[in-house]
Chain A
Amino acid sequence: MSNISKAFRDIKSKNEKAFIGFVTGGDPNLQASENIILAMARAGADLIEIGIPFSDPIAEGPVIQAANLRALAAGTTVEKIFGLVRGLRQKIDIPLVFLTYLNPVHHYGYEAFFARCEAVGLDGIIIPDLPFEERDELRETAARHGVDLISLIAPTSGRRVAEIAGQASGFLYVVSSMGVTGMRNDIPAGLPETLKLVRAATDLPVAVGFGLHSPEQARQVARIADGVIVGSAIVKLAERYGEQAAEHVFAYVKGMKEAMLEK
């Protein structure tokens, strides 16, 4: 059983839901990212997504786009992100997952990249521009190195849900709404329906992301999903407070986690 599956099983046994926090690695620098991640873990985050910055993140809204550019301007490289993960592994046990686009992985070399993931203790990877049709590109390599290749489900997935869920590993990432990442105020009306389709197709845990930022949204989504994914709201704190962001992120994640405990 993978580290991710174990984490979700433990959360479920406590009758809780997972909080998954995202940060762009190296924004504004690697030390700040480490501090933010450790603060999230202390505040009760159950899984952390670390963005490997990419020059052209087409699935991201303005907040995370800007974070990618800040991280690259600060000289962040794939190798340095591996170093960040290796350092974190001495301090925290919760699953760590990359989010990046296919080109930096392709450029590093698939075999070398996933071997390195395994060596530093990374648990999974989310690649927004690698849909079901192209998964064979990486599937075998990722699996051989014990890295869960996380599948995304969109509001438009419809009949694709069954085939996607059938090949998924770790957990399923349900994209709450159309469009790119970024804070929105409502919970899309179609979300319960999408979750129903996913539940019918798999027993894997299901986490929801895109647009979520408020405790109220977290509370609502926690009722129907196994996890809540928050990116832009945390990245916004990194943007605003820079190297002092960790304490703000701690308070924010704590508030979200508490809201998710309310039934």
Chain B
Amino acid sequence: MRTGRFGAFGGQYIPETLMNEIHALERAYEHCQNDPGFRAELNALLRDYAGRPSLLYFAEKMTEALGGAKVYLKREDLNHTGSHKINNVLGQTLLAKKMGKTRVIAETGAGQHGVATATAAALLGLECEIFMGREDTRRQSLNVYRMELLGARVHPVTSGTMTLKDAVNETMREWVSRTHDTHYVLGSVMGPHPFPTIVRDFQSVISLEARAQILEKEGRLPAAVMACVGGGSNAIGMFYHFIPDAGVRLIGCEAAGRGLETGRHAATIARGEPGVFHGMKSYFCQDAEGQIAPVYSISAGLDYPGIGPEHAHLYQTGRGEYVSVTDDEAVEAFAFLAKTEGIICAIESAHAVAHAMRIIPQMPKEESVLLCLSGRGDKDVAAIARYQGVDLHE
């Protein structure tokens, strides 16, 4: 396999101006990976600052309500900053510091990755600028203010569809103009090599913990692990250490938005085709001319026209299963989890909850399913209220 490839996917499809910087990042990452000092420093931050290990919670009431396999929730929503994003961000900002960078830039969709990056930058004393589609700054205005409180500058992106894809474009354009002191903290398992590998490694702590936790609780491996998929970082984190366990199903849940047939969705595997974009070869939602298609989801964090190359490979080889979940189903699952378990999860994570509600009732009671609750839902409450026609007088 060529470097930075997952089967036919991955690669380094970026402008020449960035190539030396990308190679420097590859070398620095390899060095840090083999440096016990770096690992110790990162593990200390994950434990003492982010609050790891995250809980693996047996959702007894949800299990009872669904009447099938046991449901365990991997509580990434309880991490500092409220999502799995902090795992990757602490790793990458620490790496940036070791590379001598003084400034970090990042894209954000829902704002979770932007908030996490602004947080780590504040902690480690790095200058921070976040690019966020103007449409998303409106949907997630609280997160914009949160980032500013943390000392970051937020740039609303007005090009293209003004969502996550355009935020990535704009962050790449910024990076091309200034690499000497700046690291791009890419937020998902996407982009040019080595990002899909770096982000996957930093997120794989999720399945490293979860696998040991479920073996301790159940004495056997789960029947399936599940997560929502936009770019796919919490999903690959949840899957990674289970990939060699052939009996464990890996299930990624994409956003079907208003429905696959409406064209208003972000279901890359269900409706996309192989292509090359944002530095990687993978699957992308695109039109008959190879133009990247506008995508839509109620969830800003899943509103992305591509998927990480390792997911594309898991899909193509049949190791991973990818399903899609509509806005309506996600909102219903969001309410279900709140009422049955007293947990308000991110609308992104609710996509995985929704699919669990479909399949759990058909699964034997002695089996278990692990579901990654990638983030908490405080940020989504206003949007869900709007969706259900409730005026909160914000």
Instruction: List the interface of chain A (C-beta within 8 A of B).
Output: 54-56, 58-59, 61-62, 65, 69, 72, 77-78, 102-108, 128-134, 151-158, 160, 164, 175, 178-180
Q: Is the CB of B15 within 8 A of A129?
A: yes
**Are B292 and A180 in contact, CB atoms less than 8 angstroms apart?**
no
User: Is there contact, CB below 8 Å, between B20 and A178?
Assistant: no
- How far is it, in angstroms, between the C-alpha of A107 and the C-alpha of B291 when the chains are bound? 9
CB distance from B28 to the nearest CB of A (A): 16
What are the interface flags for B157-170 relative to A under an 8 Å C-beta threshold, 1 for contact and 0 otherwise?
Answer: 00110000110010
Name which residue of chain B comes closest to A60, CB basis.
B173
Query: Could you say which of A102, A153, A157, A158 contacts B13, with CB atoms under 8 Å apart?
Result: A102
A141 to chain B, nearest CB (A): 15
- B324 CB → nearest A CB, Å: 22
Residues of chain A with a CB closer than 8 A to B176's CB: 58-59, 178-180
Cross-chain contact A175 with B16 (CB below 8 angstroms): yes
Q: Which residues of B contact A179 (CB under 8 A)?
A: 17, 173, 176-178
A152 CA to B14 CA in the complex, in Å?
12
Contact A107 B16 (CB under 8 A): no
A129 neighbours in B (Cβ, 8 Å): 13-15, 276, 279
Minimum CB distance partner of B277 in chain A: A103
Does the CB pair A104–B16 fall under 8 Å? no
Chain A residues within 8 Å of B18, by CB: 156
Taken together as a complex, chains A and B put the C-alpha atoms of A104 and B292 apart, in Å, by 9
Residue among B14, B159, B172, B289 with the highest chain A CB neighbour number at 10 A: B289
In the complex, what distance in Å separates the CA atom of A54 from the CA atom of B20?
26
Residues of B within 8 A of A152 (CB): 15-16
CA distance A58 to B172 in the complex (A): 7
Complex partner residue of A132 from B16, B177, B178, B275, CB under 8 angstroms: B16
Interface: B290 (CB within 8 A):
yes
Contact across chains for A55 and B291 when beta carbons are under 8 A apart: yes
| Chain B residue with the shortest CB-CB distance to A175 | B17
Per the bound structure, the CA–CA distance linking A154 and B12 in Å amounts to: 16
Tell me the bound Cα distance from A153 to B15 in angstroms.
10
Please state if B286 and A107 are interface contacts (CB–CB under 8 Å): yes
Q: Is B284 interfacial (CB-CB < 8 Å)?
A: yes
**In the complex, are the beta carbons of A103 and B17 less than 8 A apart?**
no
- The reply on B179 being an interface residue by CB < 8 A is yes
Query: How far does the alpha carbon of A157 sit from the alpha carbon of B286 in the complex, in Å?
Result: 32
List of 9 A-B pairs having minimum Cβ-Cβ separation, nearest first: A107-B290, A179-B177, A154-B17, A104-B290, A55-B291, A102-B276, A154-B16, A152-B16, A55-B292
Q: Which residues of A contact B209 (CB under 8 A)?
A: none
* Residue of B13, B18, B273, B286 with most chain A CB atoms under a 10 A cut-off: B13
What DSSP secondary structure best describes chain B's contact surface? Answer: mixed
Q: Give CA–CA (A54, B274) in the complex, Å.
A: 16
CA A106 to CA B11, docked complex, whole Å:
14
Contact of B177 among A105, A131, A164, A178 (CB under 8 A): A178
Other A-B pairs beyond A154-B16, A154-B19, 20, CB < 8 Å: A58-B278, A59-B173, A59-B176, A78-B289, A102-B13, A103-B291, A103-B292, A104-B291, A105-B290, A107-B286, A128-B15, A129-B14, A133-B11, A151-B16, A156-B16, A160-B19, A164-B16, A178-B178, A179-B178, A180-B173
Q: 21 A–B contact pairs at CB < 8 A?
A: A55-B291, A58-B172, A58-B278, A59-B176, A62-B159, A78-B289, A104-B289, A104-B291, A105-B290, A106-B276, A128-B15, A129-B276, A131-B12, A134-B11, A151-B16, A156-B16, A157-B20, A160-B19, A178-B176, A179-B17, A179-B178
Query: Which residues of A have CB within 8 Å of B284?
Result: 103
| Contact residues in B for A65 (Cβ distance below 8 Å) | 159
A134 to B2 Cα, complex, angstroms: 11
Q: Which residue of B lies closest to A61 (CB)?
A: B173
Contacts A59-B15, A153-B16 known; A178 to B179 CB distance under 8 Å? yes
Query: Which residues of A sit under 8 angstroms from B172, Cβ to Cβ?
Result: 58
Given A104-B289, A154-B16: A55 touches B160 (CB 8 Å cut-off): yes
* A54 lies within 8 A of B291 (CB): yes
The CA of A231 and the CA of B176, in the complex, are separated in Å by 18
Q: Tell me if B165 and A134 are in contact (CB < 8 A).
A: no
Find out whether the CB atom of A131 lies under 8 angstroms from the CB atom of B15.
yes
Q: Taking the nearest CB of chain A, how far is it from the CB of B16, in angstroms?
A: 4
For B291, give the chain A residue with the smallest CB separation. A55
Report yes or no: A131 in contact with B291, Cβ–Cβ below 8 A.
no
